[in-house]
Structure formats: C-alpha cells, structure tokens
Amino acid sequence: MTLTVKERLVLALDVDDGETALGLVERLKEYVGVFKVGMQLFTREGPEIIRRIRERGSKVFYDAKYHDIPTTVSRAGRMAVGLGVYIYNVHTLGGYEMMVETAQATRREAGKSGGEKPLILGVTVLTHMNQEILKEVGIERSLEEEVIHLAKLAQRAGLEGVVSSPREIRAIRAACGADFLILTPGIRPPWAEENDQRRRMTPGEAIKSGADFLVVGRPILQARDPVEAAQRILKEMEESIAKC
C-alpha cells in the first residue's frame, strides 16, 4: 500500500463530545489523513459521529478493539462496513477463530453491499504495558515474543496488519514482511510531554523503523496551535522518509 505522508498521520479524537471532535476535523483535515474514534467519543456520540466525520470528506479509524466470541465480533465487523470506516481493530487475544470469522464476514459484507472493505488490524500488546504487567495477566513470554506471536497469528488469520507500540515495529516487519500494515500509537515528538505511554517513539523514529500509520493524540490536541503541531509532525515524517 502506497501512502502519502498525510495519509499516514492519524489523529486520535480523544475528546468528550462531537462538536469538539468535528471542530478539530474541520481545522485539521488538510493535514491529517485519518481521524481515530475511540471508546471515549463513541460512547458519548455513537455511530453518528463516524458518519459526520465522513460527511466532511475524512477517513475514520474506528478504534473498537473488539474482543468477544467469534460470532459476536464477526457481526460487529459487518456493521463496521455499513458505517464506512476505513480501519477498525480487534484484539488478537480473541484468538485465531475470532479473527478468521471476522475477516471473512467483513469481506462478504463489503462484497454484498458494494462498499469498501475496511482494513482490519489486530491489537497486540497495549502501549502502556510492560513485562511486569504481562506477568500480572499470566503471560510468560517476553513482551517482544508475545507481540510477534500475536502479529503472526493475525496475519495467518487474514488481517491486514496490527496495532503495536513503535518499539516492536522492526521485529514485526522482519517476521511478517513488507506488505503487513503496522499502525503505531505511542508517538511523541521531541517537544511533547511523554504522558502515560511507556513504549514510545518520535514520529521520525517510527517512520524510520517501518511504521505505516502513526497515531498522535495529545501532542496535537493539547498544543497551543494544533495546526502548527500537525505541520511539525508531518515535516518530521517527511524528513525521515527522505532519509530512508
């Protein structure tokens, strides 16, 4: 998949209401390729916020993190097709069967409706987690081993890629190949606060490591001038691409 720099920048709309979110879309759609709607905004506004963003000509990453029995998640995937989302995600820990059924159901629904099939990405290990937290939930593999195991499982199940921290990008790329998509949160420009992301990286570093999509939230949302912040991030991404 060939993407422009703008198409690779995903803004996390982690805000409390639709009007704030739509104001950000209007202000930043010239610089941001995809807007992420997660549980915070979706719980308040429901599916309508996705439709309203799309009406403004922008793509949506529905950060659903589906994790349930195969039948339930595959049906939810079909509904995501109807919403017209560009990307949605599932938890890889839901297992191979869940991912296979969801990928197949999504393809069938897109074919039947004539809509565009969303990219389905598998969430590997959340970016706030470290080795200690993995052990708390009973996972004995090293963090990198667990991420690679889950990424390969997602690829075998027919997902287009994974969501993973920037620290595992190179290992995923080596294990899953050049065409497997990697979307990475935990992006913090050098001038931004670190916040609660343990496994983070700058935009330039993430691009150099091989990420396809970069999710940025607070460094833009909390900036004095969000447009300037987005432009600075795009410039750093462009400079990194030029050096690759």
Instruction: Give the DSSP letter of residue 116.
Output: P
d(CA 15, CA 228): 19
* Among 120, 13, 115, CA closest to 73: 120
Which segments of 69-189 does DSSP mark as H helices, in order? Answer: 70-83, 96-113, 131-136, 143-157, 169-176
The two structure tokens encoding residue 60: 């949506």
DSSP state of 122: E
Catalytic residue among 29, 65, 152, 208: 65
Residue 29 known to be catalytic: no
The CA R_g of the chain, rounded to the nearest whole Å, is: 17
User: What is d(CA 35, CA 21) in angstroms, rounded to the nearest whole number?
Assistant: 9
Nearest Cα to Cα of residue 53 among 81, 76, 30, 29: 29
- Please say whether the beta carbons of 90 and 123 come within 8 A: yes
Reduced to 3 states (helix: H, G, I; strand: E, B; else coil), residue 11 is strand
DSSP state of 200: -
Contact 214, 186 (CB under 8 A): no
Tokens 């990424």 belong to 151
> Catalytic residue numbers?
65
